Amino acid sequence: MENSTILEIKDLSVSYTSSNKEIKAVRGLDLAIRQGETLGLVGETGAGKTTTALSVLRILPEVSSSIKSGEIMFEGRDILTLSRKEMREIRGRDIAMIFQDPMTSLDPVMTVGRQIEEMISLHTDCDKKELRSRAEAMLEVVGIRKDRFDDYPHQFSGGMKQRVGIAIALSCNPKLLIADEPTTALDVTIQAQVLNLMNQLKEKYRTAMILITHDLGVVAEICSSVAIMYAGQIVEYGSIEQIYGNHMHPYTEGLFDSIPDIEEEKSELKVIDGLPPDPSALPAGCSFSPRCPYATDRCGESCPDDVQVEPGHIVKCILAGKK
Ligand code: SF4
């Protein structure tokens, strides 16, 4: 049976205002995710990945940000038109988020067990006893003994705190989980354990997941599809096989060239020349043109269209399928 689409973002544009300048963080973004799918949203800092996630949860900073256009359809309803009350019901119950830094996302003065109970009690009518047993069960799901229920976050290591963050996020069995660089703050061995856990849990609960990362190694471990973001746009999208085996956008090529290959003796790693553009003064035409080794005069004339180079594989480049 074909899995149904649970989230569809259409033509989303989000800007921030700073010092009277418009910072175009997300520009005309289209993206869909199906039940059970894990989508990697990949790009450098400032590419618009986190802004996209915060838009889906409607937790963008109110004063400085504005959604310029678009729709975010979740199970047939446009999230952007819902009331605050309706949104509060969806957040945590249907769409949950795991943040990058578990040290700051947990409440330091509340026991971890109580923090899981709080999330469950926001969205269910469980009595006290049931709340406790569901929260203890969630701790065990993420590999923490239930007798640690009454411990405070500072009594846990970084990896264990991130497990608590995962337990809170999964406690209401959400349909969509957004994980924003969930392993970046952890050291390498703990990263692998947390990724392993996330992999097991997504199989068990069939939760759709958007994994935000700058790390293509993490994507390979866990994702089924990949969207590469650059300067607020998706420049390449495809299945994990298409992106790892047959990527076509020059920016994606640069990202792969900059990964160390432990089997090949490379004396030097290639880096992508230049820096991402200033989002308040984007170049004309293709935003990647100042850094692109294949750029021609045509690239500066207009923003390239999305080209479908094979079923499900989309590339935003005038050379797509022609190199
Ligand atoms: Fe490079 Fe031109 Fe393609 Fe942009 S459109 S990625 S500048 S070749």
* Atom of ligand 1 at shortest range from CA of 286: 4
Q: Is the dihedral of CA 158, 163, 164, 169 positive or negative?
A: positive
Token pair, residue 245, equals: 């085996």
Report the C-alpha gap between 40 and 209 in whole angstroms: 8
* Atom of ligand 1 at shortest range from CA of 292: 1
User: Is the pLDDT reported for residue 206 higher than 50?
Assistant: yes
Choose which residue among 318, 322, 323 to substitute to test ligand 1 binding: the one with the highest number of ligand atoms within 8 A of its C-beta: 318
User: Is the pLDDT reported for residue 11 higher than 80?
Assistant: yes
Q: Identify the pLDDT of residue 265.
A: 60
Stated as kind and residue range, the H or E segment containing 132 is helix 128-141
pLDDT-derived band at 264, boundaries 50, 70, 90: low
User: Is the pLDDT reported for residue 272 higher than 90?
Assistant: no
> Looking at 90-104, 115-129, 236-250, 278-292, which range is the least confident one?
90-104
What single DSSP character describes residue 80?
G
pTM > 0.85: yes or no: yes
Regarding the beta carbon of 318 and ligand 1, being less than 6 Å apart is answered yes
Report the C-alpha gap between 159 and 179 in whole angstroms: 15
Determine the distance separating the centroid of ligand 1 and the alpha carbon of 116, expressed in angstroms: 47
At which residue do the structure tokens 């190199």 appear? Answer: 323
Q: Identify the pLDDT of residue 254.
A: 95
Please write the tens of the pLDDT for every residue from 81-106.
999 999 999 999 999 999 888 778 89
User: Is the pLDDT reported for residue 140 higher than 60?
Assistant: yes
Residue 68: exposed, middle, or buried by beta-carbon count in 10 A (0-12, 13-18, 19+)? middle
At which residue do the structure tokens 């924003």 appear? Answer: 180
- The whole-chain average pLDDT of the chain stands at 92
pLDDT-derived band at 1, boundaries 50, 70, 90: very low
Please write the tens of the pLDDT for every residue from 226-235.
999 999 999 9
The amino acid that residue 93 corresponds to is R
Q: Identify the pLDDT of residue 205.
A: 85
User: Is the pLDDT reported for residue 239 higher than 60?
Assistant: yes
Query: b/e for 289-321, b at 16 or more Cβ within 10 A?
Result: bebbeebeeebeeeebebbebeeebbbbbbbbe
Please write the tens of the pLDDT for every residue from 292-316.
999 999 999 999 999 999 999 999 9
Residue 217 makes CB contacts below 8 A (sequence gap 6+) with 259
Please write the tens of the pLDDT for every residue from 56-76.
999 999 889 999 999 999 998
Stated as kind and residue range, the H or E segment containing 54 is helix 49-57
Distances (CA, A) of 123 to 49, 206, 266: 28, 20, 53
* Atom of ligand 1 at shortest range from CA of 250: 6
Please write the tens of the pLDDT for every residue from 184-193.
888 888 888 8
Regarding the beta carbon of 317 and ligand 1, being less than 6 Å apart is answered yes
Please write the tens of the pLDDT for every residue from 157-199.
999 999 999 999 999 989 999 999 998 888 888 888 888 888 8
Instruction: Tell me what the mean pLDDT of segment 140-155 comes to.
Output: 95
